[in-house]
Every structure is written in structure tokens, then in C-alpha cells.
Chains A and B, each alone.
Chain A
Amino acid sequence: MSSTVALSHAKLPRWAPALVGVVSLAAAGLPAMLLGWGLFAWLVASVLLFLAALPGWSLVVEGRRSAVDRLMTGLVWSAFGVAVLPLVWLIYVVVDQGAQAINGEFLTYSMRGVIGDEQGGVYHALIGTVFITLAATVVSVPIGILTAVYLVEYGGRSKLARWITFLVDVMTGIPSIVAGLFALALVVLIFGPAFRMGFGGSIALSLLMIPTVVRSAEEMFRLVPMDLREASYALGVPKWRTILKVVVPTAIGGVITGIVLAISRVIGETAPLLVVAGATDGVNFNLFDGRMTTLPVFIYSQYAQSTPAGYQRAWGGALVLIAIVMLLNLIARLLGKLLAPKKA
């Protein structure tokens, strides 16, 4: 036996996983064809075969540690596939169904006076969604961020801070319909029983957004190292300026991502808006008077018509909604990149 430690050992070729993959697909394809399995069963069988075959081969050639590594890598990739498959599928279905409904008129016309199969549009709902969500954001972002600043910079372990944290946690769990009913009660209390306005919907959405914004901003502010605050204090900078010019700019990328996630979450809310903002066929630019339709409510009411034209408009509305959410996420990523502290 040689006294030197072996630093190299046999390895499977680079193309081994690809080969095993193809062979697994083919091997599972045989019973799939003979027994008439569907696409899904065929894929599952192939993956199982792959997870058995590659580690097995690796065990023979490369030894135990590499075999376990290959098995785990395979499992991680399978889990990833299971996680993204529904997403890809959903996007495919929405685009497939929705694209037929989308045209110039669909995006620029409302549903006023549209009867039966006539061409209608999503314009009023688009306006409603943008206005109501924007107003909700304008209300909840300052409240959320200031609360987070209090919790991280001033609250410490005080009673008030602990109570706020507890209440924010409770708020996170409020069912959206309850937020809607509360906003309705508030509007009715102030303006009378028959009054409806889009801003009522914004209030309901704010109730749902604030806890998310507080939580994410709090996490981000806590990540800012104490060293940076001390560096600022040591230069004779007061605490409020330190927060404004050191803590917030350092954390801003993450805070914005959190805000956009909060928006994405509430932009699809249907029930509370149906309750407070009501539904209408026409365009309404005034947040503070009259009913306003949002995209989810539009989708719901079109779907509820149970006509082919209604179904198609619902899918079209869904596509527009998803496009907005994706656009928001893209903007968030961009802003996050632009504003995050840069390394060389």
C-alpha cells in the first residue's frame, strides 16, 4: 500500500447526468406507451428512474460520498421543478386564454352599455386598480416605514414597542374580507349608508399592506450594522439625520422590494373591494366619490356572467392583472439593484 494519500479518484464523465436523463425518459416511455399513461405519469416515472440510476451508477464508480451528493442534487432539482411547474403552467394558461381577449379596444373601453357578446373593455377596472392601489400605497408606506423606524431605532425593548409588534402580528392575520367590512363601516359611519367610494377600498387595502411593510422594513433596518450608526454619531451627526441619511439609504433596496411585494399581494384582493368600492361598468376617476371597479372585481363579475364572452373578458382581465404584477416586480428588482449599496 502506498503511503501517500489519494487525492484523486474515478469520476463519472461530465455528460453522465444528461445520458442518464435521456435513458430514464426512454425507459419510462416504454410502459407509458404500452399502458397509455399520460404525460404527467411519464415524467414522474422518469424522474424516479433518474434519481435511482444516477446515484447507483455513481456509487459503483465514484464511491459513497459522490453518490449521496448526486442523489441530493437530483432531489433539490426535482423539488425546484415541482415548485416552478405550477407557476409556469399558470402563466401559460393565462397568456394562452387571455391573449385572445386582448386588443386595442379591450384596453381602452369600459363596460358601459355593453350588452351580450359586444366588445367590451377593461379600461375602467384598470383605472380603478391603479388608483385604489396607489392610494393604498401612499397611505401605508409612510405609516409602515415610520413604525419600523420607531421599532428599530427608538423602541428598544420598551412595552410600547412590544405591543406594536404584537398588534402588527395580529394585523397580519386579519382576513381581507374583515378589513373590507371594517373600511365599509368606517365609510358608512362618516358619509352615510348609501355612500361608496374607491378610497374606502384603499383603506381596506392599507390595513392589509401596513403589517407587511412594517415587517419587511423592520427586518431591513435591523440588518444595517450598528457600526455604521456609530460611525455617523462619531462624526457629530444627530440621530434623526443618521436614520435619514445612513440607515434608510443603506436599507432602501430591501425596503422597496418589501413594499412591492406588499402591493403585489393586495392588488389581487377581490372581496374587500367588492364590499367597499362596489362594482360599476363605467370609468370613475374620482377616488372620493362613487363606485370603482378593480381588475379582480371585473374578473369576478365577468366570470359570474357564465357566457363565453364573459369568460373571455375574465381571462383578458387576468392577463392584464398578471402583467401589472410582473411589471411591478421587475421595477422592484431594478430599483433594488440601483439603490443597493454597491461593491466595487
Chain B
Amino acid sequence: MAKSIDVSDLNIYYGDFLAVEGVSMTIKARSVTAFIGPSGCGKSTMLRSLNRMHEVIPGARVEGKVMVDGQSLYGPDVDPVAVRRSIGMVFQRPNPFPTMSIYDNVLAGSRLNSRKLSKADADDIVERSLTHANLWNEVKDRLGKPGQGLSGGQQQRLCIARAIAVEPEVLLMDEPCSALDPISTSAIEDLIHELKSDYTIVIVTHNMQQAARVSDETGFFNLKAAGQPGHLVEFNATKKMFTNPDEPATEAYISGRFG
């Protein structure tokens, strides 16, 4: 069920602007891969190119190859909608649907696609997803209330619940914990550990400890200089990255963060 992702020589553009250059990596199935790097180096851009969300932006395009379980993601007959159904995403900024209640937000994947669900199944999915996202206890008494009435961190957890409710095979998470307190953060990390047995997970984080805690492998992105495209400096097992990285730049970045 889980899928591995092979990226080779990927260039990602916004119009004429080359944002990420020459990335090659292999993301293993049933594992957690973390992307780290300074702000603006293209982590979000890279992540969005893995489920074809990048091309939603006018003028945005990619060059190179992304293979998911041996199938080319950018092949001419690949349907981006089908891709996004099996590769889900949690965005850097929480974006619950303002017209929907908390309940409907969790079920948005089915609701928007007009998939029929029995009431019992729907209740079950909502409770399970919200529990996984560590939000159930806070909202179980007001599931009918609008999702935008929640706090920023609660909205982010709602978006995580919404993404796992459709049971994607790969889950891309863009700084899912940046707005969360330590308790919710640890709940999300537990969730990641739990999902890892069935899913492939890619997570962007600015928190080195988090990358060290949750991920099996880590990719370090950097900019050569301001205005230059971002590139992948090193991709290695997380243990090695944090103890004995191959590149001095990786060591500098990580140890700089740890002080």
C-alpha cells in the first residue's frame, strides 16, 4: 500500500525563476523522511512537486523525473487528481473550509467528491481522524460549529485530521507543528510514528530535535547565495546526519541550531 518515491534531476520553476535545482533522492516506503534547511531554500516547493500541487500556481512547472513505485508522476497520461488522492498533503498555513462545520471539514475529502458514506461510517472516520490528530477531546462537543472558529493550532490539527481521513498512501506535511504547543506536537509525532507502519511520510520542519526524533532519513536543502536556486546538500539516514554528516555545511547548519 505504501509507496516509495524516486526523484532524479528535478528542477522546479516559478515562471522563469528556478527555485530548486538538480534534486535527486529516494524516499523509502513505510518510512519518515524529513526536509530541513533555511527559510526560502525550497522545501515547500520540493514537497508540493511530489503530489503535483506545484503546477496549480500559474506559470509553475518542473523538469526532471519523479517516479512513484516505478510510475512516472509527470507522465503525459497521469491524472493529477488521481495522484493527489493517493498522496495527501498538510499545508504550512492551516486552511479549513469556512463554509463547513468541524465535522464536515474532516469529511471534506468524501463530501467534496460526493462519495456516499453511512452515518455510522462517517461518525467513525471523524472520531478516529480527530483522535489521531489530538483534537477530538477539544471539539467533540461542538462538531457542528464552523471550523474557522478554532484557534490557529486547532485549525492546523483539523487540517491534519482532514488529510488522514482520506487515508492517502503518502502523506506530505509542511511544518505541521509550527503552530502547535509541545503537547499537541508530541501527539502529532506519535501519530507520525503510528502512520509510518502503513504510510510513507515526508515532513518539512524547522525543528532539528523533531527531525531527529521522528525521521528515518533527512534531506538538507540550502541556498548557495541569496537569489540562487535551492539545492539538496545532503540526503542520508537521520542518525548519520545528526552525528557524522558527510558535508561540512550540514554539520554547520545542524550544530548552529543546537548552539
Residues of A within 8 A of B (CB): 156-157, 225, 227-238, 241-242, 245-246, 249-250, 341-344
Contacts and interface: CB of A to CB of B under 8 A. Distances in A.
A234 B88 contact: yes
A344 B146 contact: yes
A237 B53 contact: no
Nearest to A251: B99
Nearest to B88: A234
A344 B145 contact: yes
Pairs A-B, 5 closest by C-beta atoms: A344-B149, A236-B85, A341-B98, A227-B95, A234-B89
A249 B111 CA distance: 14
6 contacts: A231-B108, A231-B162, A234-B163, A236-B84, A249-B99, A343-B148
B91 A227 contact: yes
A233 B53 contact: yes
B81 interface: yes
Interface string B114-158: 100000000000000000000000000000011011100000000
Given A225-B95, A231-B96, A343-B148, 12 more contacts: A156-B58, A227-B93, A230-B91, A235-B88, A236-B85, A237-B81, A237-B112, A246-B97, A250-B97, A341-B98, A341-B99, A341-B146
A234 B51 contact: yes
Interface of B: 51, 53, 56, 58, 81-82, 84-86, 88-89, 91, 93, 95-99, 108-109, 111-114, 145-146, 148-150, 159, 162-163, 166
A157 B15 CA distance: 14
A232 B105 CA distance: 11
Given A225-B95, A242-B112, A233 B84 contact: yes
Contacts of B109: 235-237
Contacts of A250: 97-99
B98 A235 contact: no
A197 to B, nearest CB: 41
A229 B145 CA distance: 21
A173 to B, nearest CB: 30
Contacts of A157: 58
B146 A231 contact: no
A234 B81 contact: no
B129 to A, nearest CB: 13
Nearest to A229: B56
Given A245-B112, A343-B146, A344-B145, A233 B95 contact: no
A236 B93 contact: no
A226 to B, nearest CB: 8
A318 to B, nearest CB: 40
A235 B148 contact: no
Of the listed residues A230, A235, A241, A342, the one surrounded by the most CB atoms of chain B closer than 10 A to its CB is A235
A68 to B, nearest CB: 38
Nearest to B146: A342
A234 B112 contact: no
Contacts of A237: 81, 109, 112-113
A339 B202 CA distance: 38
A344 B148 CA distance: 7
B56 A233 contact: yes
**Quick one: which of B93, B113, B166 has the most chain A CB within 10 A?**
B113
A225 B99 CA distance: 13
Contacts of B88: 234-235
Contact of B113 (A156, A236, A343): A236
A235 B112 contact: yes
Nearest to A234: B89
Contacts of B108: 231-232, 235
Contacts of B58: 156-157
Contacts of B96: 231
A61 to B, nearest CB: 44
B148 A230 contact: no
A157 B58 CA distance: 10
A38 to B, nearest CB: 53
A344 B85 CA distance: 30
Given A228-B97, A231-B95, A236-B84, A343 B112 contact: no
A228 B95 contact: yes
